Amino acid sequence: MPFVILGVTGSIAAYKAVDVASHLVKRGVEVHAVLTSDAQRFITSLPFKTVSRNPVICDLYDEEEGWKPAHVRLADDADLLLIAPATANCIAKLAHGLSDDALSCIALALRPLARILIAPAMNGKMWHHPATQQNVRTLQSRGVEFMGPEEGLLACGYEGLGRLCGVEQIANRAFELVSQCPSHS
């Protein structure tokens, strides 16, 4: 069964990640959600737990059964790390190898054959900022794939580039990527 870690960061678009998880589960994908502390200001873990039928990681020190830390076990098992929505902060942390929460630790510990797909959502000025664009280029040079952001009315009241891509588009691309994954080594 394909295995996806769904990272959710602190964006108003966090509620859409539940629908992404639902689409993937309906296609036979095992989904494990990881919510940053900022994501939890927008949405709780309960909808992800209910939809995925798996525990949700909300803290680096969340423990499951067994001896291996949850973030290491997830990183070892994942075919894909999907971060939707991804904030500028998350993108910067990944680009610079910072690991101060469960999601960023998983990204650093991800098995070599796993793919990373990032769907950004943020204010358009933040997306266009040279630092964010450099961080995106850095991640792309490492093989990370980006979807979006899209143009439209943003939660901050501005119109422009920064909206999360469509839920079905994200789920479809994630499914394509896990369908191409070689079996675990």
Q: Answer whether residue 184 is part of any domain.
A: no
Amino acid identity of residue 82, one-letter, is L
Q: How many domains does the chain have?
A: 1
- The structure's pTM equals 0.94
Tell me the Ramachandran region of residue 143: left when phi exceeds 0, alpha when psi lies from -120 to 50, beta otherwise: left
Express each pLDDT in 100-154 by its tens digit: 999 999 999 999 889 999 999 999 899 999 999 999 999 999 999 999 998 887 7
Q: Answer whether residue 174 is part of any domain.
A: yes
| Domain CATH code at residue 12 | 3.40.50.1950
Give the active site residues: 156
**Are 90 and 121 in contact, with CB atoms under 8 Å apart?**
no
Express each pLDDT in 14-34 by its tens digit: 999 999 999 999 999 999 999
- The three-state secondary structure class of 139 is helix
Tokens of 36: 């940053």
Q: Answer whether residue 14 is part of any domain.
A: yes
Express each pLDDT in 139-158 by its tens digit: 999 999 999 998 887 777 77
Dihedral angle sign, alpha carbons of residues 100, 103, 105, 108: negative
Q: Tell me the residue range of the domain where 158 lies.
A: 3-179
